[in-house]
Structure 1
C-alpha cells in the first residue's frame, strides 16, 4: 500500500475521535485500580477493542453518509473518503468487514481473559459485544439508520458512558455498585456533548439531506441549551461521586480537564461559525479525555 493510500485510510478512520473510545475504558480501569483489581492484559485488550469498535463506527459513518447522500458538497466537517472518491464504496465495505472481524477477535480474547471460568458472564458480555458491533454499523448504514432519526445521542450516552465505564469496571472486579452510575453517566454526557457540537455544526446540511439528528429536531437555540445540560450535568455528577467516595484531594485533579469544557461550551453558545465550532469539537473531545483520565488517576492515587 502506498503512502498516499495509507493516508486515505487514516483519514477515513478519523483518529481524532479515538479519545472518546478511550475515555470510558480509562475511567472504568482507574476505578478498578482504586478497588485494587487492575490488570494490564485486560486493560490493553479492553482499550484495543474499544478503539477497533470506534474505527468501525467511523468507517461505517463515512460509507453510510456517502451512500445516503448526507455528505453534501458544502459540509464543513472532516473530508469524507467515499463521498470524495478517495476510497470506493466496495473498498470501504471490505475494510468494515475486516475491522469488525478484528474487533470480534480482540473482544473474545478480552472476555476469555476476564471470564474464563464464568460462563454466564462470558455469554452476557458476548451479547453486549454483538450489540456494540451492530450499533457501530447501523448508526448510518441500513434502511433506517438510527443516527438519522435522532437516536445517536442516546447510543453515545449508553456505549461511551454507562456500558463503557461500568462494563470495563466489571471486567476487572466482577461486581458493580449503583454509585458507579454517577461517573459512568458523566462520561456518557461528555461524549454526547462532542456529538452535539458536531450536530450543531452540521444542522443545516443534515436537515437538507434528511438526517434528523437531535440538534436538527431541537433547533439551534435549544440544541445549545442542551449542550450546557450535558457539560454541566457531567460536572455535577463527578463532584457528587467524589464527595460520596473519597476524602482524598486527588480525585479533584479532574478540574483542569473539566474547566476548558465550560469555555468551549460558551463558544458553542455564542458562535455560528462552523470552523470555530470545529475547534470546540476537538477541544471538547480532548477535554473529555483529559477529564476522565485525570479523574481515573485521582482515584488511583487516592
Structure 2
C-alpha cells in the first residue's frame, strides 16, 4: 500500500521496494519466532491450542534453539533496516536516517516484547494498538516516506485502512483463542470484553477500514471507474457475515487466512487501479 501511494505521487525505486519487502519479511519472522517462544514458555501454547502447532509447543525446536533463531532474525532485520535506509536516504538525509533507524529498533523491540519477558504487552491487551501503529501507520506511511520523503494527510487514510484490517486479523486470532488465553492469563481485548463484544469490535474494525478508504477516494477525487479495488471488500464482508454467525471460537480458525489474503488483494488492486496500470 505504501508503494502504491508512492507511485501515485510519482515516486518509485525498485531497490527500495525490494529491500522494504525483505525487511518486512524479516520483521514478521522475528515476530513469529518471538511469539512462539513467549507463548510457549508461558504455557499459553498448550495441548488445547487451536490452529497450526508451533515449534516450541510441538517440540520441533528447543528453547535454546528458538532463542538463537530470535537473535539471528533480529540481527538480520536490523541489517536490512540499515541497508534500506542507506538506499532511501543516503548521506544527505542523515536526520531521516537516524529517525528511521530508531523506528527500526523500536519495531524489533515491539516484535520481541509482544509475548516475551516478564511484562509482555500482548498479555495486557495492548496488541491491537501495536498492530495498528506498526502494521498500519508506520508500515504504510513509513514505506511511502522512503520513496517521497514526505506524506500528505489524506494518505493517512489508506494507512488507517490497512492498520484496522491488520488489527482485525489479530482480533480474529484472539477470538479463536479466547478460551485458552483466558485460562493462561493472556488478557487480550477479547478476553477483557468477552466473545460476543469481541465480534462487535471486529465488525467496527472492518466497517471503519472501509469508510477510511472511501473517504480517501473522495478527497483525492479518484475517478469512479478506478475505485474497483473496493471489490476486495466483497470477500471481507462475506467473512464478516461468517464471524457474526459463529458462536464457537474454534470455528473461526479458517477465517484468519481469508482476511489476511483479502488485505493483500486490496493493496494489490489499489496499486493497479489508482496508478492506472490497466
If the TM-score is normalised by the length of the shorter chain, which range does it land in? Answer: over 0.9
C-alpha displacement of 1:243:
1.1
Secondary structure of the residue that 1:301 maps to in structure 2? coil
Asked if 1:281 corresponds to 2:256, the answer is yes
Q: Which residue of 1 aligns with 2:4?
A: 30
5+ residue gaps, structure 1: 1-26
Report how many aligned residue pairs link the two structures: 276
Secondary structure of the residue that 2:84 maps to in structure 1? helix
Deviations 1:259-292 (A, max 9, x none): 1111111111111344531111110111111112
Verify the 8 A CA contact 2:222 2:274 in the aligned structure 1: no
Q: Which residue of 1 aligns with 2:60?
A: 86
Query: Paired residue for 2:22, among 41, 45, 48?
Result: 48
More displaced 10-residue stretch of structure 1: 180-189 or 250-259: 250-259
| Stretches (4+) displaced over 4 A | none
C-alpha displacement of 1:248:
2.3
C-alpha displacement of 1:250:
5.2
- The separation in 1 between residues aligned to 2:234 and 2:132, in whole angstroms, is 21
The correspondence of residues 67-82 of structure 1 with structure 2, limited to 5 A, is 67-82=41-56
Deviations 1:230-270 (A, max 9, x none): 00000001011011113324541322211111111111111
Secondary structure of the residue that 1:83 maps to in structure 2? helix
Q: Which residue of 2 aligns with 1:61?
A: 35
Asked if 1:137 corresponds to 2:137, the answer is no
Query: Paired residue for 1:114, among 74, 88, 91?
Result: 88
Verify the 8 A CA contact 1:250 1:301 in the aligned structure 2: no
C-alpha displacement of 1:144:
0.5
Verify the 8 A CA contact 2:177 2:250 in the aligned structure 1: no
C-alpha displacement of 1:149:
0.5
Deviations 1:133-182 (A, max 9, x none): 00001000011000011000000000110001100000000011111111
- The separation in 1 between residues aligned to 2:88 and 2:160, in whole angstroms, is 24
The correspondence of residues 220-299 of structure 1 with structure 2, limited to 5 A, is 220-249=195-224, 251-299=226-274
Distance change (3 Å), C-alpha of 1:256 and 1:216: same
Verify the 8 A CA contact 1:28 1:169 in the aligned structure 2: yes
| TM-score (normalised: structure 1) | 0.89
Q: Which residue of 2 aligns with 1:95?
A: 69
5+ residue gaps, structure 2: none
Secondary structure of the residue that 1:286 maps to in structure 2? helix
More displaced 10-residue stretch of structure 1: 268-277 or 68-77: 268-277
C-alpha displacement of 1:184:
0.5
Verify the 8 A CA contact 1:28 1:166 in the aligned structure 2: yes
Asked if 1:192 corresponds to 2:167, the answer is yes
Deviations 1:175-210 (A, max 9, x none): 111111111111000000011011000001000000
Verify the 8 A CA contact 1:190 1:231 in the aligned structure 2: yes
- The separation in 1 between residues aligned to 2:271 and 2:186, in whole angstroms, is 36
| TM-score (normalised: structure 2) | 0.96
- The separation in 2 between residues aligned to 1:286 and 1:274, in whole angstroms, is 21
